[in-house]
Amino acid sequence: MEKKILILCTGNSCRSQIAEGYLRYFAGNKAVVYSAGVETHGVNTKAIATMQEDGIDISNHTSNHIEEYANIDFDFVITVCDNAKERCPFFPTKAQKFHYNFPDPAKATGTDSEIMEQFRSVRNLIKEYCRTFANHNLN
């Protein structure tokens, strides 16, 4: 049976979008993956670009609010930033909760290439997290 996974962050624009892309990739047909924010900021163009570099297209993802998924009985809820964990609404669910505070690449400063390096660095952290998560939880 497919597992249902929700990935949460503040604005559903960078980290949760990257994680959704990788978890869909690593989970294959073993899970349905959703992402949402406690706010919606739109999908970050640099997140889309850095994922395309790794062969994963998230350009058609949407930025969704947590309340849109209130009626889904999730198996796993993963928060990818401390702010989302603190502001996450209570879910009347059996979902196992996971948390990892990834740096926010949207706050990166410097030249375009320095900012993209920070996006790549966070992307790589999230990729390894998602690979490990799928290996341990989606057998």
Read off the pLDDT of each residue in 32-39 and give the average, rounded to a whole number: 94
> Is the model more confident about 51 or about 88?
51
Predicted pLDDT of residue 76: 95
Res. 28 pLDDT band, cuts 50 70 90:
very high
Read off the pLDDT of each residue in 32-36 and give the average, rounded to a whole number: 96
Predicted pLDDT of residue 92: 60
Cβ count near 59 (within 10 Å): 12
Q: 13-17, 81-85, 88-92 — which is least confidently predicted?
A: 88-92
Yes or no: say if 50 and 116 are a contact pair by the CB < 8 Å rule: yes
pLDDT at 14 over 80: yes
Q: Catalytic residues, which ones?
A: 9, 81, 88
Nearest to 12 by CA among 34, 30, 29, 35: 35
Yes or no: say if 24 and 4 are a contact pair by the CB < 8 Å rule: no
> Is the model more confident about 93 or about 81?
81
pTM across the whole model: 0.94
Predicted pLDDT of residue 90: 61
Question: Domain holding 27: CATH number?
Answer: 3.40.50.2300
pLDDT at 66 over 70: yes
Per DSSP, the three-state class of 44 is coil
Range of the domain at 88: 3-137
Structural domains in the chain (count): 1
